[in-house]
Structures are given as C-alpha cells and as structure tokens.
Amino acid sequence: MTYITDTITYPHYHSKAFTLYFKGMKLGAADIETTGLNPEKCSFVLGGLLTEEKSGLKAHQFFAEDLSLEQETLQAYLSALKSCDVLLTYNGHRFDLPFIRRRAGSCAEMLPYNLDLYLLVKNYSPIQKFLPNLKQKTVENFMGLWEHRRDEISGGESVALYYQYLSQRDPCVKQTILLHNHDDIIQLYRLLWVLEKCDLHKALYYMGFPVCTGSPQVSNLIVENISFSKDQLAVKGRQGPKAVSYRCFEWDGIPCSAQFSASSRTFTVFVPIIRHSSMTLVDLQTLKLDISVFEKYPGCQEGFLILEEQDQIHYLEINHFVKVCLERILNQWITKKSQEA
C-alpha cells in the first residue's frame, strides 16, 4: 500500500446554517476508486480523504499497489474515515459507503455521519431543473468550479488505467489515477458552497444529523428519525463505537424519557409536546432549557417554541430543539452517570 498526503491552501467553508449542525466536528470529504460497480465481484483500490486542518486542507490517499493489498489498504482508509465526525460524499449513500461495507465487512461498522451532497442537490434544491444530469462534474460546472480540475478522465477510465498499471507499472499511469481521485475530493469540498442553494434545514430533518457530545467517554449520536405523535416528539437514531446503556422516564423533574442501548447501539428519546389550535409547541421552561437560545426565532413566545403551525413544519426550530435536547441528555445525564460509575 502507498500512502500519499499533501496540504492544499483553500478557505474553510463557513455558513450560519452549516455551523449550527457541524460546529466543532471534524469533516472529511471522501471518495473511492474501484475496479467496478459491483462490490461482490470488484475490488477497492484507492481511497481519498480531504480533511480540514489548522494549516489548511489536507489530502490523504491510500493506494493498493496490487489487488492482493486491498484489505490492507482498505483498513488504513477506514481508520482515517473513523477519525472524522462527518463524511462529505457525492452519492456516497448509494455507492461509496455500501461498497466499503461490503468489502470490509464488520470492520466498516459505525462509520461517521454521511453528508451526501448528491441527495441534498437532488431532493432539496432547484438545481436539477437547470442541468442535464446531476453528475459531480456537471454540478461543479454549474457552480463555476470546472476550471479548478486538472484531471481529464472519468471513473470508468480510471478502472482501465488501474489494470494497465498492474501489468505495466508505469508511474505516469499511477499518477493519472491518483490525480483523478485527488481532484475529486478537492472539488467535493469546494462543492460545499452548493449548500447555499439547498434547503439545509429541511434536508437534515429528513436525512438526519450528528450530535456531538464533546466527551471522550461517550460517542456522538446520529439522529435518523424525528416524528410526532399525539402528545410526544420522538427522536430515534444510533450511537457510535462507545455506545452506552441508559434508561430514564424522568430526570430532575424534567418530563422526558430516554432509552439508550449499548447492544443495539441505538437510542430513542421522547419529549412531551402541546397541541393547541393549529399549532404544535414545546414548553421550554418545563423542560428547563435555556430560552435565550431560541428567542431569535419568531415562534418562540413566553417560554414556548412553535414546531408546527398551520401544517407548516418549522424544520430549523425542530432540528435545533432536538440538537439542544440531545446535547443536554449526553452532557448532563449520560456523561455524568459515566463519571460517577
């Protein structure tokens, strides 16, 4: 296996919406190269990861010099992926991550949260109305990023070149493959600016989002589902590698219930809600939450926060409320219990 790394000078992406969900989390833009599309028959040959560092953006590439080195290369790549809190991909939900899981087996369990820009652009932006397709290079061109690319090959051509490299060991061929992957991860990071054209709050309400504990004792959480019943808001998701078991039906007079399972690495939290006229609200005072955090929202009045109104879902307010609740459960309940134990 060959490991290649270099540092790229490029500004880190920032926006208020992005910061709300991902502040303090390590982001890695990930892309893989394989010998084909079918993980049952094809091999992983190259993994690229671009991470945000204080010195700039750092590119990491893990290249299998031979097909016999697939597992060694894949394990090294997985270790790098798991050092991140958020993986930025383009169609990674359908291709990159399932391919990695199939080739690596149980070693690929508990991968970080996947922010798939393809799904965001496809389902939560108007961009596809103006484009012939949603291939990464097509969206790059739409965003004015095409001039940054140096490679001129496609993913399919990369496959043919890899087999050529195995037979000829031409370093120029290897460099062409590496450049293709290198440009893919850099361009993927640059595509973060496409979020300005997406409804990020609605997208993450349905796609889920990570919640960072900030404690080495307890793993981050990944929210996977938010739903309403008659009198409760239910939040379900999964825990990371350091999963805990915890159950409560009320804590310090706060009428919330929570169940965390270390064996299944899942969690469920129920929060009481109020149905009033055409609105769904939560009582921030009863839940002992800091009301000042939510006062910037028009729907925060007299200690109550409106989550739904006239069949309009307030995606931002719900996501922010869920994030604050889970952070409180992690930091004040579970982490405290772990320290006492």
Find, among 140, 44, 28, the residue nearest to 95 by Cα. Answer: 44
At residue 329, the pLDDT reads 84
At residue 332, the pLDDT reads 73
Write a three-state SS string for 61-109: EEECCCHHHHHHHHHHHHHHHHCCCEEEECCCCCCHHHHHHHHHHHHHC
* Average pLDDT across the chain, whole number: 92
In the chain, what are the domain boundaries? 2-201, 208-340
Q: Does residue 48 contact residue 180 with C-beta atoms inside 8 Å? A: no
Tell me the CB-side half-sphere exposure of residue 218, using CA atoms within 13 A: 28
pLDDT of 304-327, one tens digit each?
Answer: 999 999 889 999 999 999 999 998
pLDDT of 197-237, one tens digit each?
Answer: 999 999 999 999 999 876 667 788 999 999 999 899 999 99
Tokens coding 211: 């919640």
pLDDT of 271-287, one tens digit each?
Answer: 999 998 889 999 999 99
Distance CA 155, CA 201 (A): 32
Tokens coding 178: 């590496």
- Mean pLDDT value across residues 104-126: 94
- Whether 139 shows a pLDDT value over 70: the answer reads yes
At residue 336, the pLDDT reads 58
- Whether 335 shows a pLDDT value over 70: the answer reads no
Distance CA 213, CA 331 (A): 6
Structural domain 2-201, CATH architecture: 2-Layer Sandwich (3.30)
At residue 207, the pLDDT reads 97
- Whether 340 shows a pLDDT value over 70: the answer reads no
pLDDT of 289-298, one tens digit each?
Answer: 999 999 999 9
User: What pTM, to 2 d.p., does this model score?
Assistant: 0.94
pLDDT of 167-182, one tens digit each?
Answer: 999 999 999 999 999 9
- Mean pLDDT value across residues 13-32: 96
Distance CA 183, CA 10 (A): 13
- Mean pLDDT value across residues 143-154: 81
At residue 154, the pLDDT reads 81
At residue 36, the pLDDT reads 95
Weakest mean pLDDT among 110-114, 301-305, 331-335? 331-335
Percent of the residues in the chain that have a pLDDT greater than 90, as a whole number: 79
Q: Helix, strand, coil shares of the chain as percentages rounded to 5?
A: 40, 30, 30
At residue 337, the pLDDT reads 56
pLDDT band (50, 70, 90) for residue 39: very high
